[in-house]
Amino acid sequence: MVMEIGFGMGETTASIAAAHPELSFLAVEVFEAGIGSLAMHLARLNLTNVRIVEHDAVEVVRDMLRPESLAGVHIFFPDPWPKARHHKRRLVAPAFIDSLSGRLRHGGIVHCATDCSTTRSR
């Protein structure tokens, strides 16, 4: 299983799932419009290898996934808040990465892309 955290409107998730029908995907998002959009993409493409979870990714990883249950994780552009006051809301932080690493199987891959120039607030 590959988990995608924060899939936005779901175009990329649907494309990746269509390109890899042999994989199961767990798509985690809190943005309702994005959830509906991904559901429409999945229906249009007749994809059955994606499950959607409407919940906070930190809690999903911490409370809902077994250790070593993930083959991979996609985290695309997770930190849109460059202001110092938003620092506590950043997903990519040591505590979350520690939790996430326990859910990855040996050899699992984290693919993370960001346009944030720094992970520290100034």
In the annotation, is 63 catalytic?
Answer: no
Which of 56, 79, 98, 115 is the catalytic position?
Answer: 79
Q: How would you class 62 by CB atoms within 10 Å of its CB: exposed for 0-12, middle for 13-18, buried for 19 or more?
A: middle
CA-to-CA dists, residue 19 to 13, 24, 60, 79, 107, angstroms: 10, 12, 25, 27, 21
Distance CA 76, CA 73 (A): 10
Distance CA 61, CA 21 (A): 23
Active site residue ranges = 79
